[in-house]
Structure 1
Amino acid sequence: MHWFRHLVFAAVYIALALVVALTLPLSVTGMDGHTALLFGLAILTFGGLLHEFWSRQDERNRLEGRIWEIEAGLEEMRLQLDAQRGHSGAMPADPSEVAAVLSEARVLERLADRLPTHVARSAPAVVGGADAGPLFAPRPLTAQPVPTDTGAILDHVREALRTDQVDIFLQPVVSLPQRKHRYYELFSRIRAGLDADGKPRYLLPEQYLGVAADAGLIATIDNLLLFRCIQLLRETEKRHQNVGFFCNISAATLNDAAFMREFVTYMGQNPNLATKLVFELSQDDLMQGGLFATSFLDGLRRLGFHFSMDQVYRLDLDWNELARHEIRFVKLDAARLLDPDGRFADPRAVRELRQQLDRNNIDLIVEKVETEAQLLELLDLYIDFGQGYLFGEPRLARKQAGS
Structure 2
Amino acid sequence: MSPSQFFAPIAYGAIAAAVAIGAPEAIDIVGLPFERVAGILLGLNVFLFGLWLQEMVARQGALKKLDQKIQRVQDVVIRQRSDMRSMAETVRAHAEAVPEGAAELETVVAEMRMLKTLVGQLSAKSAQAAKARPVAAARPAAQARPLTAQDDEYDDPIDDAYDDDRELTDEELILDSVRDALNEDRVGLSLQPIVQLPSRRLSMYQCMAAIRTPEGTEIPPETYLPIAEQAGLLATINNMLLVRSVQFVRRMRRQRTQVAYVCEIVGETLRDRDFFTDFTAFMRENTDLAGSLHFQITQHDAYRMDARTDRELADLAKLGFRFVLDKVTNLDLFISDLSQKGFRYVKIDAPVLVEKLSKQPDPRVLRRNLDLGAIDLMVDGIEKDAQLVSILDYGVDFGQGALFGLPRPAEKRDVY
Aligned position for 1:391: 404
Whole-Å separation in 1 of the counterparts to 2:213 and 2:335: 41
1:300 and 1:374, CA in 2 relative to 1: closer, same or farther beyond 3 A?
Answer: same
Displacement of 1:365? 0.5
Q: Deviations over 1:158-185 (max 9, x none)?
A: 1111123323211111111121111100
Gap regions ≥5 residues in structure 2: 1-89, 123-148, 155-167
**1:274 aligned to 2:320?**
no
**Matching residue of 1:151:** 172
Closer, same or farther: CA 152–211 of 1 in aligned 2, 3 Å: same
8 Å Cα contact 2:270-2:276 kept in structure 1: yes
- How many residue pairs get aligned? The number is 283
Query: Tell me, what secondary structure is at the counterpart of 2:332?
Result: coil
> Which residue in the other structure is 1:312 paired with?
328
Name 1:200's counterpart in structure 2.
217
Identity %, equivalent residues: 38
Say which of 111, 114, 125 aligns to 1:108. 111
Q: CA RMSD in A?
A: 3.4
**Is the contact between residue 260 and residue 293 of structure 2 (CA under 8 Å) also seen in structure 1?**
yes
Matches within 5 A, 1:128-139: none
Q: Greater relative contact order: 1 or 2 (C-alpha under 8 angstroms, separation 6 or more)?
A: 1
Corresponding residue for residue 60 of structure 1 = none
| Conserved 8 A contact 1:280-1:310 | yes
Deviations 1:321-373 (A, max 9, x none): 1122111111111112336xxx9622536421111111111111111111222
**In structure 2, what is the equivalent of residue 377 of structure 1?**
390
1:251 aligns to what? 267
Relative to the length of structure 1, the TM-score reads: 0.62
1:165 corresponds, among 186, 195, 204, to 186
Q: Quick one: distance in 2 between partners of 1:222 and 1:95?
A: 34
The residue that corresponds to 1:56 in the other structure is none
Aligned to 1:223: 239
Q: Which residue of 1 aligns with 2:316?
A: 300
> 1:165-216 deviations in whole A, cap 9, x for unaligned?
323211111111121111100111323565xxxx7251443x4334333433
**Distance verdict in 2 for CA 1:348–1:278, change over 3 Å:** farther
Check 1:106–1:352 CA distance in 2 against 1; reply closer, same or farther (3 A cut).
Answer: same
Q: Distance in 1 between matches of 2:384 and 2:412?
A: 31
- Alpha-carbon distance between aligned partners in 2 of 1:390 and 1:292, rounded to the nearest angstrom: 39
Question: Residue 381 and residue 203 in structure 1: after superposition, are their counterparts in 2 closer, same or farther (change >3 A)?
Answer: closer
Larger radius of gyration: 2
| Amino acid aligned to 1:177 | P
1:293-314 residue CA offsets vs partner (Å, 9 max, x unmatched): 5332122111111111112222
User: 1:44-123 alignment to 2 at 5 Å?
Assistant: 93-94=96-97, 96-115=99-118
Task: Provide the C-alpha distance between the structure 2 equivalents of 1:181 and 1:224, rounded to a whole number of angstroms.
Answer: 26
Shift of 1:93: 4.4
Distance 2:106 2:400 in 1: 34
- Counterpart CA distance in 2 for 1:384 and 1:203 is 27
Q: Is the 8 A contact 1:168 1:397 kept in 2?
A: yes
- Which structure has greater helix proportion? 2
Deviations 1:229-282 (A, max 9, x none): 112211221123211110011233234444344433433343221221111111
Q: Which runs of 5+ in 1 are unaligned?
A: 1-83, 120-142
- Is contact 2:114-2:279 (8 Å) kept? no
State whether residues 314 and 342 of structure 2, in contact with CA within 8 Å, keep that contact through their aligned partners in structure 1.
Answer: no
